[in-house]
Chains A and B, each alone.
Chain A
Amino acid sequence: MSTLTEAAVESAVRELTYAEAIREALAIAMEADERVFLFGEDVGVYGGAFGVSGDLVHRFGPDRVIDTPISELGIAGAAVGAAITGMRPVLEIQFSDFVTLAMEQIVNQAAKIRFMFGGKAKVPMVVRLPGGSGTGAAAQHSQSLEAWFAHVPGLKVIQPSTPHDAKGMLLAAIDDPNPVLIFEHKLLYKTKGHVPEGDYRVPIGKAAVRREGRDLTIVGSSIMAVRAVAAAEKLAQEGIDAEVIDLRSLRPIDFDTIAASVRKTHRLLVVYEGVKTMGIGAEISAMIAESDVFDFLDAPIIRLGGAEVPLPYNPVLEKAAVPQEENILEAARRLARGEA
């Protein structure tokens, strides 16, 4: 009897991959609003380098799913121009590393136009950036550069970790009247999870508590939130009750959720794939140190970030360069024991 009920529930819970969830969000947005269009390198019949746009060109035509030349600076600028004149562009930068070629338009133009113009313009554009390591793509195709952009007033920076959030946050980003950069981890594209049908929004700037716990807090976003949850389940078997916060958004950052958790657990581990120094971990640690939450700490904060090295090609070295589940486990054990 109970088996039957579970089966019924399971069939009602629709699962999609992260990539499918993004595609569904794009389709919903383009159906609902003719101002929305997707463009980028090989997003048309090729379906996107990671298959995210898939068949969208056949559903919406080449005028709304637009293949562009390999001109990252140019297409980023084109997104700005379309956004300030009434369109809702969604730009795919094929690998987030290539955004280095488009920095000028994103940092000097998109982020600043509204302010420089005294609030008389809006720049409602979305930039999708597949990033992260783990695919053997080496130093120029594997970076996590999100912290750079989180440093720029005028931009919003998000990093969903689940198919559910990827869809809901992309829909929120397309609706947002500001430039939003969405960093999509390449290893997440094939992960599956429950994704509701239809249109829904996951708000930008709001973290999610993925697992409640009393002993310590692990903060991470994107794939690090996924690895932190997996690590926390193992820690539970060892008698360590970890709370996991999925940051989801780097700018704006939801410090309140982090603060509330650390007040409860008194211990903080920040995990991120970007290079350790001058990164997300430094910012969150400083926010804690500057606030009354500092008094609640029973142990030094631990930052677990990427190694100080360009990402290597060799798979053993590549794994060693960014936090893996076992590194999170090890750091959490140290933190629980009160070791720095």
Chain B
Amino acid sequence: MKADTDTTAQRPNQRPELAAIDDETMRGVLRKMHLIRKFEEAAEASYMRGLIHGTMHLSIGQEASAVGSTLPLKAEDYILSTHRGHGHCIAKGADPARMFAEFFGKENGYCKGRGGSMHIADVEGGNLGANGIVGGGLPIAVGVGMSIKAQKLDRVAVVFFGDGASNEGAFHEALNMASIWKLPILFVCENNKYGMSMDVSRAMAVPNVADRAVAYAMPGIIVDGNDLPAVAAVAREAAERARSGGGPTLIECKTYRLRGHSKSDRNLYRTKEEIEEWRNRCPIRRLEAELVAHGRFTPEELMTIEEAAQAEIDAALEFAKASPDPDPKDLTRDVYAD
């Protein structure tokens, strides 16, 4: 942030969470949120048109938790993601073209077409991978935290997981260890209300995932996951605590996935009215409306950002389509390191 020319104090009428984000940063935030939305829409369309096989888990509606939670991160910080992880990758700075190439199973995808949608990783970019196992990233994050501490690095790790993962033993083991060893980890739960079809209220004995933090003596913070400035503010505080040796934080972003669990979901467990209600809480439109109301951006400026994101995604898709398939002769490459 440009402290000299662009300060929170210049935005006195705005709520502090919004005022804390300067215009240049906000442009980047909007770009990433649009990139995520449009990546997911293009992924869905590619599937409908038969351009890709397999399955996918779309994060449409959850853009604020992905971008907000990673906003305080530096390039060298780590994230660990989930099966619904496209947004987290983009938020951490992944190139949508190489992501699409991976999605299409191409040799120049992030994982050379070996991982696909559920395993996109960019280790050099600090993205230690999406994960096909619910809760799979949580214990791995503990090791990353141990590594940061042992190597005395000024880094933090953000591990994303869903409400469903908080019912896995892995969640409880990981939070406990992170807390006893005061590891620099942000446990970011994207509570989108359903573990596949099961409503969180039927799956969990406590009303909030954040309530579970008390068992591990760490702060458990509930935030509106569709409110980007609010998520970013909570993540910033947690990251600062982590960097200063204060240990981990559990952040629960209350959000909603507007699409089904995966491509085969018929939405038998929820109502059209509920989906419509959450569509009206779209994290992107909400943020844009607030920015226009405060006169920070004009609708035209916002349209320009959105169109640029669309163009970037269109080009990414073309890159993926034109990319080479892996050669079957390389089938068993990279099972072992030499």
CB within 8 Å of B: which residues of A? 35, 37, 63, 68-69, 71, 73-87, 89, 104-105, 108-109, 113-122, 124, 153-154, 156, 177-178
Q: A63-B150, A71-B177, A81-B140 are in contact. Are A116 and B129 (CB under 8 A)?
A: yes
Please indicate the chain A residues that have their CB under 8 angstroms from the CB of B332 in the complex: 153
B180 in the interface (beta carbon within 8 A)? yes
Closest 7 CB pairs of A and B: A77-B139, A81-B143, A74-B173, A119-B334, A118-B112, A118-B111, A78-B143
- Decide: A121 and B121 in contact? CB cutoff 8 A: yes
- Decide: B144 and A118 in contact? CB cutoff 8 A: no
CB within 8 Å of A: which residues of B? 78, 109-115, 119, 121-124, 128-129, 131-133, 136, 138-148, 150-151, 169-170, 173-174, 176-177, 180, 332-338
Alpha-carbon distance between A116 and B335 when the two chains are bound, in angstroms: 9
Write the nearest CB–CB distance from B40 to chain A, whole angstroms: 21
- Decide: A178 and B336 in contact? CB cutoff 8 A: yes
Alpha-carbon distance between A105 and B136 when the two chains are bound, in angstroms: 7
User: What are 19 inter-chain pairs, A to B, with CB distance below 8 A?
Assistant: A71-B176, A74-B174, A77-B142, A78-B139, A79-B143, A80-B140, A81-B128, A87-B143, A89-B143, A108-B132, A115-B114, A115-B334, A117-B110, A117-B129, A118-B114, A120-B110, A121-B123, A153-B332, A154-B335
Please indicate the chain B residues that have their CB under 8 angstroms from the CB of A86 in the complex: 147, 151
Q: Which residue of B lies closest to A72 (CB)?
A: B173
Alpha-carbon distance between A89 and B113 when the two chains are bound, in angstroms: 29
Alpha-carbon distance between A78 and B335 when the two chains are bound, in angstroms: 21
- Decide: A115 and B129 in contact? CB cutoff 8 A: no
Q: Which residue of A lies closest to B126 (CB)?
A: A85
Candidate in A80, A105, A114, A117 with the most chain B CB atoms within 10 angstroms: A117
Alpha-carbon distance between A87 and B150 when the two chains are bound, in angstroms: 9
Q: Which residue of A lies closest to B181 (CB)?
A: A66
Write the nearest CB–CB distance from A105 to chain B, whole angstroms: 6
Q: A68-B177, A74-B174, A82-B146 are in contact. Are A108 and B129 (CB under 8 A)?
A: no
Alpha-carbon distance between A109 and B169 when the two chains are bound, in angstroms: 16
Q: A77-B170, A86-B151 are in contact. Are A105 and B333 (CB under 8 A)?
A: no
